[in-house]
Chains A and B, each alone.
Chain A
Amino acid sequence: MKAKVTITPRRGVLDPQGRAVLGSLHSLGYSEVTDVRVGRCIELELDPLAGPDGLPVDASAMEGRLEEMCRRLLANTLIEDYRFEIESVTP
């Protein structure tokens, strides 16, 4: 099982990196671009059978745990937004 977490700067928070990229795209002639926000992407490998205390984690609990990981470490919710997708890999 895999999860992909995407973190972007919040609207209203200055994103100097996004602004620099926007300026660069404009100088290349891509004038249709009106805003750029540069964030980061984190890929997690998950083993649902290896939960805390050796207990399995079911799908809905996994979503809750990912939410928790984002709030506690992966994103700073004061300045960043996050979203994630869980991809189950079928053999």
Chain B
Amino acid sequence: MKIAVVVFPGSNCDHDAWHAFRNVLGVEAFFAWHKEADLKGADAVILPGGFSYGDYLRCGAIASLSPVMEEVVRFAKAGGPVLGICNGFQILCEAGLLPGALLANRSLKFICRDVHLRCDAPGTPFTGRLEKGQVIRMHIAHAAGNYFAPPETITRLEGEGRIAFRYTDPSGRLDPWWNFNGSVESIAGVLNEGRNVLGMMPHPERVSEEILGSIDGLTVLGSLVDFLDSATPMRARRFVPTSGLKPQRRPGGKRREPSFPGR
């Protein structure tokens, strides 16, 4: 199993995502440079958070036209799992892989804080470890996370069960106060028609270890690994690290305490 983390100029959560997959979940992960139209046989693609191309013109607009994105679009259209986090979500919308767009936050402020998310679409490659209505805590950090789509699109997303996550209060109830960026219908994450592409504003990679305050992010990242595990033949699963940090085995898909070099 190989996971490609795409790096654009201005990506800043690429290492966090790489670290979460490689050192916490113990699967092979590598960086794919935006100028290379080659995903090197990856089984899943992560578009990380950051400020690709300085957020010039519109967030994600220029990145969505970079060479690697042609490959990512092809990969996604063939059913390959793609997860866009924060800026990655904006890029997926601009690339036309997900409906809608992300506008400036209602408050016009950059918001950096913990939020509660309710899973409204379990059983996808990204939400296999979650149950319907389960509330998890994650982190947001963005200036343009205000999800917008025309009412007919929202109705369709709702009807097809493609709203993966909503901002809620800690008990899972919709509450405008907890919808900090002002997203339509409190939407925090949406899926494409094939459910193999997920875009979400909150950052699962930032809450993937106890030392970071929460491991709720592993519900999303771990679900993706579970999904790939079930689709990968046994002999291809074994990950042999090439250097440095020790990988984690995941007995039965359960999470383990992370290990750090020198500990």
Contact = CB atoms under 8 A, between A and B. Distances in A.
Contact of B107 (A13, A16, A73, A79): A16
Interface of B is mostly: loop
Contact of B105 (A16, A73, A76): A16
Question: Interface extent on B, as a size class?
Answer: 10 to 19
Contacts of A13: 103, 148
Q: Which of A20, A73, A74 has the most CB of B within 10 A?
A: A73
Interface residues of A, number: 10
A81 B35 CA distance: 30
A16 to B, nearest CB: 5
Contacts, number: 35
A28 interface: no
B101 A79 contact: yes
B101 A76 contact: yes
B146 interface: yes
B104 interface: yes
Contacts of A17: 104, 108
Interface string B129-166: 00000000000000000101110000000000000000
Interface of B: 57-58, 61-62, 65, 94, 100-101, 103-108, 146, 148-150, 182
